[in-house]
Structure 1
Amino acid sequence: MATPRTDLNADLGEGYGVWRLGDDEALLSVVTSANVACGFHAGDPAGLRRTCAAAVAAGVRIGAQVSYPDRVGFGRRFVDAAPDDLAADVIYQIGALDGIARSVGGRVDYVKPHGALYNTIVHKEDQARAVVAAVAAVDATLPLVTLPGSVAARFAREAGLRVIAEGFADRGYRSDGSLAPRGTEGAVLTDTAEICSRTVRMVTACEVVAVDGTVVSVDVDSICLHGDTPGAIEHARAVASALADAGVRLRSFLP
């Protein structure tokens, strides 16, 4: 029987100028994939170049964390963007980060939408199609990281893109498998033991307990830990240890 394995990803490069958010280098010592901001919700060119260089040095895959243009709201506010405009924004972000990554010996290996855009394309078809079209237009070999069962996942498969189903270690779920909105009770988890037990259960049993107590089926390829969650590096190290104790190998979803 094959050893179970999973990818562990985190959002990085989310500082701006002298303002630093999270400990990128510490997280890069644990995760296998780095969702690097592209400047639209966070990140400045010099900082993103440092993050990409650190990811390359750590042997961690780089993903373009594309977003609505919303620095003030950290990309967590919905933007009613026209599909053509959204597609162009996504193309721009992938290209910009890929150029930065290549300048330090890396490249963009996948795409993961951030924040409100991520949650919107779970159900909003016109924006989901725009994101998928953008990825396909840049490079149809780039996988799209998204929530299992989302319309984005369906459209991506129809377009011939590889879909990476993602679970969240530190976020609450609703009974339909979507994420509980930030600001609602149980939406963000901070207890390390709970985060670890939920992650192991998602990976080994393919299920998670929703905020209302419902057991939800989830079959995921990658687990996300948010770099801006309080105690993020401690959570990441504890999750990696808990997965190892459960016989799960940490490995990128890419060869």
Structure 2
Amino acid sequence: MNSKIALITGATSGIGAACARLFAAQGFDLVLVARRQALLEEISKELEEQHQVSVQTLVADVRDKAVITTQLESLPAAWKKVDVLINNAGLSQGLDPIDKGDTDDWDTMIDTNVKGLLYVTKVVSNWMIQHKAGHIVNIGSIAGKEVYPNGNVYCATKHAVDALNKGMRMDLLPHGIKVTAINPGMVETEFSLVRFKGDEERAKGVYAGLEPLMAQDIADAIWFVASRPAHVNINDMLIMPTAQASASLTHKK
């Protein structure tokens, strides 16, 4: 094993996969958490071969408290010295006004974006406290800073992440643990495809006429905050494509 370990949730696609590749390139060993076993095995093999790092994979849905907790706690002791936790697992489902919202979609967003983040953080923060060091990076959103039409519950979950990020920073301060929020605007990943339940045409339409951020842009920002000197903590970063000025204001050509 190398000296540094990063634990990444939602590691098989989008920002999570981009982070896995970048941190592996920087020599980090990885604990990758995701639901899709085949994709986990694929990226794990790729990174081990390309960067000669060690990778542990956990097939788990962060919504399942018992499974994610058991999986994390079952890691060998050497793997519990996590230097960087990237709470990336998150999603949006539906884009409906509050009166027409699907309550199953609401549960999925709340359980993944808020409760899942909490379940993982509860376990890993205790490891970091034991070692009196660590860095938690929470992936928020512009939706955690402002609300947009029909974004209601998704925006509420990301506002919760924004509040939790601030609360974690305070609670973990005595233990020397860094906490950072990374809040992207429009990033072209599977995000819109998931939101619109596989409707590729509708998903592509979100980014038509402008150049969105890419997953690599956010991974670069995460690496920047994670690689600052020990005495420097970036509390909060808001990153937008040039063509986006707010959650709902974009310039399309």
TM range (shorter): 0.3 to 0.5
TM-score norm. by structure 2 comes to: 0.40
Which structure dedicates a bigger proportion of its chain to helix?
A: 2
Pick 1 or 2: higher relative contact order, CA cutoff 8 A, min separation 6. 1
TM-score norm. by structure 1 comes to: 0.39
Which one has the largest radius of gyration? 2
